[in-house]
A and B are shown apart, each in its own frame.
Chain A
Amino acid sequence: MGKGDKKTKRGKIVIGSSGVRRARKKKRAFTAVVAKTEPKPKKEIEEIVAPEVKTAPKKTSKKAVEHPESVEEKPKTAKTRKKIAETEVPYLNVDILFRIAGIGILISVLCIVLKQAQKQEQAEMLTLAGVVVVLIIVVQLMNQLFTVVRSVFNI
């Protein structure tokens, strides 16, 4: 018992490690902050992990190594999602135009193939499906257009 015992809280404080009972606080604090200062926390975690490997038994060190990875992955995915959302909302992508043109050409080619194979019905169904898919995209775009026009002209 005391400072020398690495299983107790006091001992972990002295060694600078953490276990089941003495959960680390710093990491949770920087999960929220990570978005801007991502490179720094990595170093801190490495510094925290490094002494543990020396002093603590293998089980705790494994846990400690696994833990920071799981903590770090979350903010990264959140960041990428944010970026995608930011780029998609204000500006339209030119990709939509080419995507629709591509769908049209692909469907016409497939229709020719199906007609050659004496499958008129399936060709008709294919064109219908293609039109519906493109129509969904078009309706979403129309919605966007009307909201933009409404906001600009105060209708």
Chain B
Amino acid sequence: MDITQIVGLALMVTVFLLILRQEKPVMAILLSIVFSIFIFIIMMDKMGAIINVMKELTRRAGINYFFMTTILKILGVAYLGEFAAVICQDAGEQAVAKKVEFAAKIMIAIMALPIMVAILESLLELMPG
């Protein structure tokens, strides 16, 4: 999908949202959810190509593949969390948005723990004694 198509679609959706928000705010939020899902899925197709290149690079560099997968997982969690948080904020529910962000941060921290441990271990190996 071309960028022009996405821009056109976004403008159309904005106009529809302006109309719907006055009459039926629920419908407006549902439409915005669908639009964000739409963009997300289109971009995920492109994302697959980028990730394939990154995997190829890690294979050539001989880096441990485990780190690559954790980074990918963190990326996915961050994207999904932001997706939900922005929609909640758009609907005017700040508290729910903050909670989603909080949960996403903790999930990311848990996923990043093994990498932290690996860094500490390599540091300990470097230290004498």
**Chain A residues at the B interface, C-beta cutoff of 8 Å:** 92, 94, 96-98, 100-101, 103-105, 107-108, 111, 127, 130-131, 134-135, 137-138, 141-142, 144-146, 148-150, 152-155
- Tell whether, in the assembled complex, residue A104 and residue B20 are in contact, meaning their CB atoms are under 8 Å apart: yes
**Contact among B31, B40, B73 for A97, CB-based, below 8 A:** B31
Interface residues of B in 70-86 (CB under 8 A from A): 72-73, 75-77, 79-80
CA distance A97 to B32 in the complex (A): 9
**A155 CB contacts on chain B under 8 angstroms:** 73, 76-77
**Contact among A134, A148, A149 for B27, CB-based, below 8 A:** A134
Known A148-B41, A152-B51, A155-B77; contact A131-B27, beta-carbon cutoff 8 A? yes
CA distance A98 to B38 in the complex (A): 12
Of the A-B pairs whose beta carbons lie under 8 Å apart in the complex, a sample of 23, sorted by A's number, is: A96-B34, A97-B12, A97-B34, A98-B12, A101-B13, A101-B20, A104-B16, A104-B20, A104-B30, A107-B24, A108-B20, A111-B24, A131-B27, A134-B27, A141-B38, A142-B37, A148-B41, A148-B44, A152-B44, A152-B48, A153-B72, A154-B69, A155-B73
State which size class the interface on B falls in.
Answer: 20 to 34
**A130 CB contacts on chain B under 8 angstroms:** 24, 27
**B91 CB contacts on chain A under 8 angstroms:** none
CB proximity of B30 to chain A, nearest CB, Å: 5
- Tell whether, in the assembled complex, residue B41 and residue A153 are in contact, meaning their CB atoms are under 8 Å apart: no
Among A94, A104, A155: residue with most chain B CB under 10 A: A104
**B27 CB contacts on chain A under 8 angstroms:** 100, 103-104, 107-108, 130-131, 134
A-B contact count (CB 8 A): 95
- Tell whether, in the assembled complex, residue B37 and residue A100 are in contact, meaning their CB atoms are under 8 Å apart: no
**B28 CB contacts on chain A under 8 angstroms:** 104
CA distance A92 to B42 in the complex (A): 8
**B73 CB contacts on chain A under 8 angstroms:** 153-155
**A134 CB contacts on chain B under 8 angstroms:** 27, 30
**B80 CB contacts on chain A under 8 angstroms:** 146, 149
Interface residues of B in 8-38 (CB under 8 A from A): 9, 12-13, 16, 19-20, 23-24, 26-28, 30-31, 33-35, 37-38
Q: Is the interface of B mostly helix, strand, loop or mixed?
A: helix
Known A100-B34, A137-B34, A138-B30; contact A153-B76, beta-carbon cutoff 8 A? yes
Does B118 count as interface, using CB distance less than 8 angstroms? Answer: no
- Tell whether, in the assembled complex, residue B19 and residue A105 are in contact, meaning their CB atoms are under 8 Å apart: yes
Known A149-B76, A153-B73, A155-B73; contact A141-B37, beta-carbon cutoff 8 A? yes
Does B96 count as interface, using CB distance less than 8 angstroms? Answer: no
